[in-house]
Structure 1
Amino acid sequence: MADQAEHAFIKTFINTISTQPATYGDDYQQPPENSLRKVPVLREVAVPEPPARKVEETAPGSSSVTINLLIKSTKPPITYTLSGIHPTDTIAAIKQHLSSTNPTAPTPDAQRLLLKGKALADTKLLKEYPVKDGDTINLMVKPGVDWNPSAPIPTAESPVVSLSSPAPKKAAEMTGSSSLLQGGPPGGHTGKRHQRIPSVVLSPSPSNDDDVDTHTKKDILLTLDTSDLGIGSGSTSVPKETLGTYHLTISSPEFWEKLTQFLRMEFTNESDALTAFEDFLAASKGSLTASDIARIRDHVGVVGMAGT
């Protein structure tokens, strides 16, 4: 018994001590052999001042260096010379300068400038690329752009015909198009040309006006077989199939009126009662016709979606 009491006391004592927080003093000091040596400061040595920063003059009107560039296009072959280009100009500004100084050049949004096969980004500066004075930059146009530098420049005396309002065709062209429909070359030309192929539309029921006039229409007589319905003279009346008790009960408006009163007593909220009514009616629509549903709703006074 003494040993058990002693073990219980030791166990309780250890549990009590383990719940107490342990607090350590903040007086730790590193051993002297692990500390860094102090470096003596030589105050007698003079330290030179840092060199002055060079500021590039990029403001307009300053004496900044300008370079000349050659803009070369292989298809079609043409070369433009741009002078007075600053290294701090953006690629987009160079495209705009090329389009404004050369009327035959493509628009800035259609240009693509390449240096050694690498496209130049519009937002970058010219000095970010290894371009020097007199270097050549390749010019290409974006896919889908029709650029012809040899075409005459439109002036005020020669109006430009827009695509939205095509010019009227000449009589020779109209004759050529008619000959194309007949199988011959347009305008007597023997060369290959891209022409639109006329389409032929067939009506679903072709008819001939001569046949309509010569042949008179005949009425088609239809006979109705009423032997199964028990209608007509001399026919034996077939007894009508009686409906089941379930259908008679489910199609009765009085049944749904009693069900509505029961649901309103069970549910305190009117919307909940109507929701339960719709659920019951939706479950029974397989055994009801549209007229039965209409009579039930008129009798109960609950109108559903679209009157159903």
Structure 2
Amino acid sequence: MEQLLNDHELSAEIQSLRATVDLLASQKLRYPNNYVPPVEERHKRATLVNVPVCEPPTTTHSSDDDDAPATETLSLTIKSLKPPLTFTLAARPTATIGDLKAELSAKEADAPVPQAQRWILKGKAMGDTKLLKEFAVQDGTVVNLMVIKTTAPPAASTSSDPSDVPALTLSEPSSSSNPPQVSLSRDLDHLPLTTSTSADNPQLAGESDVFLSTVSSPSLWQDVRNVCEARFDKKDEAQRVWEGMFAGAREWISPNDKALIREQVGYSAMGGV
């Protein structure tokens, strides 16, 4: 025969039971992935009413309807006030304004070229890239024509005779104290255009070809740079000495050779030398 619990033991059992229930209530209920709830626990779905819906309309195009827009034309009246001109043109709505201008120019002998035509409808210019159907035009619509003056390209000169160019002689003395002199020849029909300076023609210095080719050789001035940079610690001092030597030989070296020497040596011009 089981012994009944006293009041103290009964109270302890009740508290233990409550703690166990609270712990179970705090736990989340997890179902496996393949869980299927019973039918009585499933959510009820809303009742779907089967309402009949009519089928969408279908459009059919006959061959006559497709050909109609392509062959449809509108009669336009192209009118200009200055100069007073009036033309009638059968235009397709799908044609561009630029094509219609070219068609009018080719059809009518008095019509200006397409570049000189400016079509205006109800105060608005009709762009060349626009289609005719983009404007509010009907059969018999009057389009204002404004004729614009076009500038013709300048005619190319057909004369290739160099004697037509006035002869100009430029002479520059070797001495820097005298300014350059420019003189225009009186006989402009026979003398060609010539320029001559002592720097451009080293033969004027009276030296031999071997001397001139050697002094204008880039390898010579490269060696001069190497010697200057070997004797001077600062590169700017070495370049100043090199520039002084190069300036002393300027009357024997042509401008083209000067540029070639500086390009290969690697020194830019100082003081315009």
TM-score of the superposition, structure 1-length normalised? Answer: 0.37
Please identify which structure carries the higher strand content: 2
More contact order relative to length (CA 8 Å, sep ≥ 6): 2
TM-score of the superposition, structure 2-length normalised? Answer: 0.41
